[in-house]
């Protein structure tokens, strides 16, 4: 059975070392990690708890007025 031995970031790569015996590395997989957000792309910010409550209250009020 193959298991993950170690995971770490090396430069711009996420390195995952796998093992078959639990001690030695059987193979390594390197995946690029995006460290910067492009200028034209924005990361969406989830609503706060208060904003979610307010949205639910507004929805309930709208339903009750029908």
pLDDT in tens, 17-35: 999 999 999 999 999 997 7
What was the pLDDT predicted at 43?
76
Query: How far is residue 15's CA from residue 39's CA, in Å, rounded to a whole number?
Result: 27
The pLDDT mean for the chain works out to: 90
What was the pLDDT predicted at 66?
63
Is 2 within a domain?
A: yes
pLDDT greater than 90 at residue 14? yes
Task: Find, among 44, 52, 21, 46, the residue nearest to 5 by Cα.
Answer: 21
State pTM to two decimals: 0.52
End-to-end CA distance of the chain: 60
Is 30 within a domain?
A: yes
The residue range of the domain holding 6 is: 1-34
pLDDT greater than 80 at residue 51? yes
The number of domains in the chain is 1
Burial class of 14 by CB neighbour count within 10 A (0 to 12, 13 to 18, 19+): middle
């Amino acid at each position: 059975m193959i298991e993950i031995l170690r995971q770490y970031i090396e430069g711009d790569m996420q390195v995952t070392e796998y093992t078959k015996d639990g001690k030695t590395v059987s193979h390594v997989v390197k995946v690029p990690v995006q460290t910067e957000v492009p200028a034209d792309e924005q990361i969406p910010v989830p609503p706060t708890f208060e904003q979610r409550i307010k949205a639910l209250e507004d929805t309930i009020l709208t339903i009750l007025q029908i």
